[in-house]
Amino acid sequence: MKNDNSRRHITKWSLIVIVVVAIGALCYILTHQSDNVGVCGEWDKQGIDVSHYQGHIDWEVVAQETNIKFVYIKASEGSSHQDTMYHRNTRGARNAGLAVGSYHYFHPDVPVAVQYRNFMNAVDISTQDLIPVVDIEEKGRKPSKQICDSLDKFSAMIVEQWGTRPIIYTHQRFYNYLLQRSFDDHILWIARYGAYKFKPTPSLEDKREHTIWQYSNRGIVEGIEGYVDLNTLHEDKEIINITLKRRFKRK
């Protein structure tokens, strides 16, 4: 028969296992909790961003989510990739009455002119309601200054043809690490998620304010299968702050 010391030893390890499992379960719940539109920010300042990862979207159903006011759609990436669902998503979202904009995923190691040409080959400016976005999330092999210089050149090309600087999208950590104090004249779209309902707003080391906050990448929206990114405008901003001021003719 086991003595009392053996029983105490077994009980101790049983408690440790229970605590570890409980902590693991809690962490899973906190980090895998889905979010509804509007859990952060004001009700009438909500938006989503989509790409081919969301599959076939029923935009008429999405538009019935009355607090979704704007949509950003992935158009292109790097030198040659164009999102396979871009045109379908653009038509569907606009036909459903949503304000639409487009974004390019920027690769620092790819020549700027090639990337801009890829973006413009995908996008018909006349279908755009919102200021275009350049999405930068990776450093590549270039030093920080060269990355900022490349991004600035891409921005200048947007200005020349669109008449506005692009919005810069990135994660809070990447901005603080590489972009801060370099793009003071650009609108910022910052991703910062948090966990469950504990979602702190973006905190930028140079004290800049974001205009758009991507507060979740696990959003649930009727008409979209699986998760979608959720966004909200800053409390001091309105849709007009991200709306294209110029109107363009079709190509």
Q: Which amino acid is at 60?
A: E
With contact defined as beta carbons under 8 Å apart, do 107 and 77 qualify?
yes
Catalytic residue of the set 42, 65, 77, 137 = 137
Q: Which two tokens stand for residue 221?
A: 């929206």
Among the listed residues 37, 43, 47, the one whose alpha carbon sits nearest the alpha carbon of residue 213: 47
Q: Which residues contact 64 (CB under 8 A, 6 or more apart)?
A: 222, 223
Per-residue confidence in pLDDT tens, the chain, 251 aa: 445 555 555 576 666 655 554 454 444 445 557 999 999 999 999 999 999 999 999 999 999 998 999 999 999 999 999 999 999 999 999 999 999 999 999 999 999 999 999 999 999 999 999 999 999 999 989 999 999 999 999 999 999 999 999 999 999 999 999 999 999 999 999 999 987 678 999 999 999 999 999 999 999 999 999 999 999 999 999 999 999 986 555 44
Q: Which residues contact 45 (CB under 8 A, 6 or more apart)?
A: 69, 232, 233, 235, 237, 238, 239
Instruction: Give the gyration radius of the chain's Cα atoms.
Output: 22
H-only helix segments in the chain: 4-32, 59-63, 86-95, 112-122, 144-162, 172-174
The label of the residue with tokens 């952060």 reads 40
Phi, psi at residue 214, to the nearest 5°?
-85, 105
44-76 per-position pLDDT tens digit = 999 999 999 999 999 999 999 989 999 999 999
Taking the whole predicted model, whether its pTM rises above 0.75 is answered as yes
**Which region, left, alpha or beta, applies to residue 189 given φ > 0 means left and ψ of -120 to 50 means alpha?**
beta
Phi, psi at residue 226, to the nearest 5°?
85, -170
65 is catalytic: no
Q: What is the DSSP letter of 130?
A: B
Q: Which two tokens stand for residue 233?
A: 């405008």
With contact defined as beta carbons under 8 Å apart, do 242 and 167 qualify?
yes
Q: What is the DSSP letter of 240?
A: G
Q: Which two tokens stand for residue 20?
A: 């570890």
